[in-house]
Amino acid sequence: MNITVNGRTLNESRSYLIAREIIRETEIEHPMDVESFLQEYTIEECEKFIILRPPTVEGIHISLLKPSK
């Protein structure tokens, strides 16, 4: 399953890592519900990271390393 955040589709391995973290940290129980949970999140790309920012400071902030080129 590939998760889409703000119109950007993440690959399967990143989607898995995000789903696992969201399920662990929230009341969400199924990976299919993760995408709707992330609806309000913004996605940013830095040099070495992909960052998912929550709409509020109480949300879960997620940073993923980009693969080396």
pLDDT per residue as tens digits for the range 33-50: 999 999 999 988 888 888
Phi, psi (degrees; rounded to nearest 5) at 59: -70, 175
What is the Cβ-side half-sphere exposure of residue 24, based on CA atoms within 13 angstroms?
8
Average predicted confidence (pLDDT) for the chain? 87
Residue 49's alpha-carbon distances to 29, 33, 43, 44, 64, in angstroms, are 27, 24, 10, 8, 5
Q: Is 53 helix (H, G, I), strand (E, B) or coil?
A: strand
Name the token pair of 25. 């940290």
- Predicted local confidence at residue 62, as pLDDT: 84
- Evaluate if residue 16 carries a pLDDT over 80: yes
Phi, psi (degrees; rounded to nearest 5) at 50: -110, 125
